[in-house]
Amino acid sequence: MFHLLLAIIYLSFISLGLPDGLLGAAWPAMQGELAVPVSYMGIISMIISVGTIVSSLQSDRLSKWLGTGKVTAISVALTALALFGFSISHSFWLLCFFAIPYGLGAGSVDAALNNYVALHYSSKHMSWLHCMWGVGASAGPYIMAFALENGRAWTSGYLSVALIQIVLTAVLFISLPLWEKEKQTADEEGRKRPLSLKEIFRIAGAKEVMICFLCYCGLESTMGLWSASYLVAEKGLDAAQAAGFASLFYLGITIGRAINGFLAIRFNDTQLIRMGQVLIAMGIIVLFLPVSSALITLGGMLLIGLGCAPIYPCIIHSTPDHFGKDQSQAIIGVQMASAYVGTTLMPPLFGFLGNSTTLALFPYYLAFILLGMVWMHQALTHIHSQS
């Protein structure tokens, strides 16, 4: 039963990643049909992000009330509904409406599943599960591209992913008895009342881990959105070559998480996070080098991707150790909210700075975020080494 539930969780992580890249992949086709400015994608993305932040902050309350299994099943069902809504939408405002359940379905399940894995499975599974998220995030755009290349509308790509989510929803509802023991244990041994935000902020180390997570996700999303533009403007690569190099950053994360699962057998979470930070620093130094060699630049992109690989899963997996099992769900909920704040705000901030000055600021901006992440993680480990 234990292994069957783990297999279902692996499928759930693939499902979490599937919708993430769809909007960006489909927008060129969507924008033409909807006859709206290119920038309107940001409105839909912002609505999804706000919904994700709200539901992440409610994850502790929902998990206490429903248990991880029901939260996961209901959230995936909500996401399936939203994706189906996108597949039948032919107006921008209808897309905005369905973006609300799109975001609400993502946040609470992300926090609930991550907390469940942190409590019940080893660090290697956390890394491999996030590797599966990368598989899903990579597969989503391919599904959309397949639909568009075969002469189908962008709505067909959304419908395909919606059908996958509907099947997974059915599997999750059927598997609910596997999760019941977890809910009974939480009811008997755990905290009966969800923590308020004010109470969470009072916990030693909570603010540090939130800022650390915000910095990491801000760095990852800034790399994903701006690295290609930087490579064209400052390294002299053509657009196609730069796009390929930017994709290698995500390949580095996915491969790195697969490798990290094996490293987690020997090293603890803090050691793996520090290794990752060192690799990111080395990659940023490569970007600073005043050379335009494609091979050297490729090495820098891969180093940053490999360095990012262990940080997200290891911070989450170490949460019960730092804050206790009874508080981990509440802390992971605010971590997820912080992650989406970083993802939402940090790339546009660099866009504003780069537009006002020069894209040559890119490695400086990454280095500044990395320093903030290292500082906050060091403060977190110091606080809990004293307790």
Q: Express each pLDDT in 75-98 by its tens digit.
A: 899 999 999 999 999 899 999 999
Q: Are residues 140 and 255 in the same domain?
A: no
Q: What is the pLDDT of residue 189?
A: 46
Pick out the chain residues at pLDDT < 70.
1-2, 180-192, 239-240, 243-245, 247, 291-292, 387
Residues 29 and 9 occupy one common structural domain = yes
Give yes or no: residues 161 and 298 share one domain.
no
What is the domain extent for residue 274?
198-386
Domain-terminating residue out of 192, 216, 247: 192
The predicted structure's pLDDT at residue 182: 54
Which residues lie closer than 8 Å to 326 by C-beta, 6 or more apart? 190, 191
pLDDT digits (tens, 9 = 90+) for 196-214: 888 888 999 999 999 999 9
Strand segments, DSSP code E, in the chain are none
What total of structural domains would you count in the chain? 2
pLDDT for the residue 175: 87
Q: Kindly report the pTM of this predicted structure.
A: 0.82
Query: Residue holding tokens 């059927």?
Result: 174
- 241 shares its domain with 289: yes
Are 204 and 188 within one domain? no
Contact 370, 219 (CB under 8 A): yes
The CATH code of the domain that includes 363 is 1.20.1250.20
Same domain, 239 and 140: no
**Are both 106 and 227 inside the same structural domain?**
no
User: Are 185 and 86 members of one domain?
Assistant: yes
Statement to judge: residues 33 and 135 lie in one domain: yes
18: which DSSP letter?
T
Question: Could you please report the per-residue DSSP string of 210-240?
Answer: HHHHHHHHHHHHHHHHHHHHHHHHHH---HH
Shared domain check, 136 and 26: yes
Among 32, 22, 379, smallest CA distance to 206 is for: 379
Report the pLDDT value the prediction gives residue 1, as an integer from 0 to 100: 54
Per-residue confidence (pLDDT) for residue 181, from 0 to 100: 60
In this prediction, residue 380 carries a pLDDT of: 93
Among 157, 192, 227, the domain-final residue is 192
Asked if 214 and 279 sit in the same domain, the reply is yes
My answer on whether 204 and 336 are in the same domain is: yes
Residue 276's closest CA among 293, 295, 252?
252
Which of 135, 157, 192 is the last residue before a domain boundary?
192
